[in-house]
Amino acid sequence: MIGPLSIDAYLPAFPRIADEFGVGASAVQFTLSTYMLGSIAGVVLTGPLSDRFGRKGPMLCCLMLFGIASLACAFATSIELLAAARVLEGFAAAAAGVLLVATVRDRASGVEGARIQSWLVTVMMVAPIVGPLMGSGILAVASWRWIFVLLAGCAALWTLVIATCFRETLPPERRHAADVRQAFRGLRLLADRRFLAPAIAAGVSLGALMAYLAGSSLVLQGAYGLSPEQFAVLFGLNAFGIMLATGLNRRLLHRFAPFQIMVGGMFASAAAALMLLAGAGLAPDTLVAVALPLAFLVASWALIQPNAIVLIMHDHATHAGTASSCLRVLQACLSAVIAPLAGIGAATSALPLAVLIAVLSITGLALTVVLMSRSSFPGVEPVCDSAAAA
C-alpha cells in the first residue's frame, strides 16, 4: 500500500498546495515527477542489494526512510523543498515495491504467482479508496501538511509489523554477491522479447494509470467542479472497480493462461481509452461521459499488471530482485514523463488527458501484440483441475 497511498492521499490537496506556495498546477504536479525520479534510484539500488542481503532488512530500511521523508514533506517551506522530499519518498516506496515483487517470486511462479499478485492488488487497492478519503477528510479540518504526518505514522506502524511478523523469504544459501552494476546489466533484458512484451504491457498500463492519477484531480475538480470530498468518493469507486477486476482475474486464471488475460486486458484498456476520447470530445460538459470510461480504464489495470509481472519474473527466479528492478525502472521513467503531461489543460478540459491516455493504450497494445506474436511463454498455462476450480 505504501506506493499508492503516498500518491493518492495528497491528490485532493493539489489546489491547496498550489495556493499556499503561490505556484501553478504544473509546479505541484512536478512533485509527482520528482517522486518518480526518486523511484528510479530506488529500484536500481534495491533489487541487487536484496538479492545479496535478503528482503526483510532492506524492507525495514525503506519504511524508516519513508517515514523520515514524509515528515520532511510535512515541514516543507517551499514547493522546491516539497519536491526534494518527494524524491526520498519515491525512493523508499519504489524500493518497497521491488521487494514485494521479489518476495512473491521467492515463494511462487506461474499461475500460482499470478493468483498471489491478484490478491496483493486487491489489498493494495485499499489505498486508492482510503487515500483520497483520508486526504479530503484532513483537508476539511486541517492543513494538507497533516496528510504527510499521517503517512509518517503509517510508516512507523508498518515498520513495527514487518519487524515482528514478516519472515525472510530468501535464505542465505540462495543469495548472490551485491553488485549494483547488475541492475544496469539487467537492462539487457530489454532485448529479450519474452521480457519486453509483458514489460511494455506493465509499463503502459501503469503509465495510463499515472496519467489518471496526475490529471484526474485537476480535471474533475477544475473542469467539472467537484469538491475534494466528491472527488475522493469517485476516486474510491474506481479503486473498488479494480478490486472487482482482480476477483475476475483470479477466476479467469482457471481457464486462461496469464498472457491471454494480459492481452485481453490491454484490448479492454484501449477500448476504454477510445470511449474516453469520444466522451471528452463529443460531450465535454457531461461528467458521466468521462467518469465511466475512466472507471473501465482503471479496472483493466487489474487484468494487465499481475499477469504481466508473472510473465516477466518467470525466467528470473535466481535474480528476482534485479529483474524486478529493471521492470520498475521502465515504469518509473515512463511515469515521470507522463505526470507533468497529464496536467496540460486539465483544469479546463478533459480532452488533453483523454488524448494522452488513448495514445498510451493503443501504442502499448500494438507493440505488445507484435512482440508476443513472435514469442512463446511456456510454464504459465492455466490450471483446470477440479481442486483449482473449487
Distances (CA, A) of 171 to 55, 93, 106: 10, 24, 10
For 112-138, the pLDDT digits (tens) are 776 777 777 767 767 766 777 788 889
Q: How far apart are CA 60 and CA 100, in angstroms?
A: 12
Q: Which of 226, 204, 206 is nearest to 216 (CA)?
A: 226
Q: What is the mean pLDDT of the chain?
A: 80
AA identity, residue 230: Q
Q: Please report which confidence band the pLDDT of residue 64 belongs to, taking 50, 70 and 90 as the band edges.
A: very high
Given a cut of 60, is residue 389 above it in pLDDT? no
Please tell me whether residue 341 adopts helix, strand or coil conformation.
Answer: helix
Q: Which residue has the higher pLDDT, 389 or 323?
A: 323
Radius of gyration of the chain (CA): 20
Distances (CA, A) of 153 to 156, 249, 261, 271, 341: 5, 33, 38, 40, 32
Q: Please report which confidence band the pLDDT of residue 110 belongs to, taking 50, 70 and 90 as the band edges.
A: low
**Quick one: cell of 166?**
514478516
Given a cut of 80, is residue 47 above it in pLDDT? no
- List the beta strands (DSSP E) in 102-172: none
* Least confident residue range of 14-23, 58-67, 154-163, 227-236: 227-236
With a pLDDT cut of 90, the percent of the chain lying above it is 18
* Least confident residue range of 67-76, 177-186, 222-231: 177-186
- What pLDDT, on a 0 to 100 scale, did the predictor assign at position 375? 55
Given a cut of 50, is residue 289 above it in pLDDT? yes
- What pLDDT, on a 0 to 100 scale, did the predictor assign at position 377? 52
Q: 155 with 63: CB under 8 angstroms?
A: yes
Given a cut of 90, is residue 156 above it in pLDDT? yes
Q: Which residue has the higher pLDDT, 114 or 303?
A: 303
What secondary structure does DSSP assign to 24-83, as a single string? Answer: -HHHHHHHHHHHHHHHHHHHHHHHHHHHHH-SHHHHHHHHHHHHHHHHHHHT--SHHHHH
Q: Which of 98, 44, 335 is nearest to 205 (CA)?
A: 335
- What pLDDT, on a 0 to 100 scale, did the predictor assign at position 230? 84
- What pLDDT, on a 0 to 100 scale, did the predictor assign at position 374? 57
Range 10-26 average pLDDT: 85
Given a cut of 80, is residue 373 above it in pLDDT? no
Q: Which residue has the higher pLDDT, 245 or 372?
A: 245
> Residue 19, Cβ neighbours under 10 Å: how many?
11
- What pLDDT, on a 0 to 100 scale, did the predictor assign at position 388? 37
Instruction: Tell the residue number behind the cell numbers 532488512, with chain if given.
Output: 57
Q: Which of 295, 79, 321 is nearest to 183 (CA)?
A: 321
- What pLDDT, on a 0 to 100 scale, did the predictor assign at position 378? 47
Sequence-distant (6+) residues with CB within 8 A of 77 are none
* Least confident residue range of 1-10, 53-62, 119-128, 369-378: 369-378
- What pLDDT, on a 0 to 100 scale, did the predictor assign at position 176? 66
pTM: 0.66
Q: Which of 69, 35, 326 is nearest to 180 (CA)?
A: 326
Q: How far apart are CA 325 and CA 308, in angstroms?
A: 15
Given a cut of 70, is residue 386 above it in pLDDT? no
